[in-house]
Amino acid sequence: MTDDDNRNPHFEETRLESWKAIAAHLKRDVRTVRRWEKAEGLPVHRQLHLTRSSVYAYASELDVWRATRRPAGESPASGWFGPHARALALASLVILALVSPGGGRVIPATPATAAQERGMVARQLPGPGADPHAVPSPDGRYLLYGDPATGDLIWRDLNSAETRRISAKLATDEAAGTPLWPILSPDGKEVVYAWGTDENTVPELRLISINGSNPRIVHRNDETAAVQPEAWSPDGMRVLAQLTRKDGANQIAWIALADGSVRVVKTLDWRYPFEVRLSPDGRYIAYDLAPREDSPERDIFLLTADGSRETSVVQHSANDFLLGWAPDGQHLLFASDRTGTLGVWVVQVVDGRPQGSPELLRKDVGRIRPLGVTRNGAFYYLVATWMNDASFAVLDLATGTVLARPANASERWEGSTSLPTWSPDGEYVAYVTQPPDVHFSTGLDARIIVRSLKTREERELWPQLNQISFMSWSPDGRSLLLTGFDKNVAYNQSVYRMDVGTGKVIPVVQTKYEATLSNGTWSAEGRAIFYVRDQSSTKRSYLLVRTLDTGQEKELHAAPWLAGGLALSPDGSQVAIIETDRRGLPHTDRLLLVPAGGGQARELHLALGSDEHLFDVAWTPEATAVLFVQGRLTGGQAPSSQGELWRISPAGGEPQRLGLLVDAPLVMGRSLRVHPDGQRVAFTSMRFSPPQLWVMENFLPPLKAGR
- Residue 519 CB burial class (10 angstroms; 0-12, 13-18, ≥19): buried
Q: Quick one: angle between helices 19-26 and 30-40, nearest 10? A: 90
CA count, 13 A, side-chain hemisphere, 459: 12
Domain positions in the chain are 3-106, 131-271, 273-376, 387-687
Query: Does this model's pTM top 0.85?
Result: no
Between 25 and 380, the higher pLDDT residue: 380
Task: Report the pLDDT value the prediction gives residue 613, as an integer from 0 to 100.
Answer: 81
- What Cα–Cα distance (Å) separates residue 51 from each residue in 96, 580, 594? 12, 61, 64
Q: What percent of the chain has pLDDT over 70?
A: 79
* Angstrom distance (rounded) from CA 505 to CA 436: 24
Lowest mean pLDDT among 303-312, 371-380, 431-440: 431-440
Describe the strand order of the beta sheet including 331-336 as a list of residue ranges.
320-325, 331-336, 343-350, 353-362
> Could you write out the three-class secondary structure of 640-664?
ECEEEEEEECCCCCCCEEEEEEEEC
**Out of 161-165, 385-389, 569-573, 614-618, least confident range:** 385-389
> Mean of the per-residue pLDDT values for the chain?
80
9-13, 173-177, 275-279: range with lowest mean pLDDT: 9-13
Instruction: Answer whether residue 699 shows pLDDT above 50.
Output: yes
Between 16 and 609, whose confidence is greater?
16
Q: What is the pLDDT of residue 126?
A: 81
What is the reported pLDDT for 39? 59
387-687 has the same fold as 273-376 = yes
**What is the model's pLDDT at position 664?**
46
pLDDT at 423 (0 to 100): 96
The answer to whether residue 48 scores a pLDDT higher than 70 is: no
CA 388 to each of CA 376, 410, 445: distance values in angstroms, whole numbers, following the listed order: 36, 11, 16
Span of 199-203, 271-275, 634-638 with lowest mean pLDDT: 634-638
Question: What percent of the chain stands above pLDDT 90?
Answer: 44
pLDDT, tens digit, 9 for 90 and up, residues 555-601 = 999 998 887 778 999 999 999 999 988 666 667 889 999 999 999 99
CATH number of the domain at 387-687, out of 2.40.50.140, 3.10.105.10, 2.120.10.30, 2.60.40.1930?
Answer: 2.120.10.30
pLDDT tens column, 225-241: 889 999 999 999 999 99
Per-residue pLDDT tens over the stretch 51-96 = 233 567 777 677 666 755 544 433 333 222 222 222 222 222 222 2
Average pLDDT, integer, range 506-529? 87
Element (H, E) at 91: helix 81-99
Integer angstrom CA distances of residue 675 from 158, 475, 568, 621, 625: 51, 14, 14, 8, 14
Q: Which CATH number fits domain 273-376: 2.120.10.30, 2.40.30.10, 2.60.40.60, 3.30.70.1230?
A: 2.120.10.30
Give the model's pLDDT for residue 638: 42
Res 322 pLDDT > 90? yes
**CATH fold label, 131-271:** Neuraminidase (2.120.10)
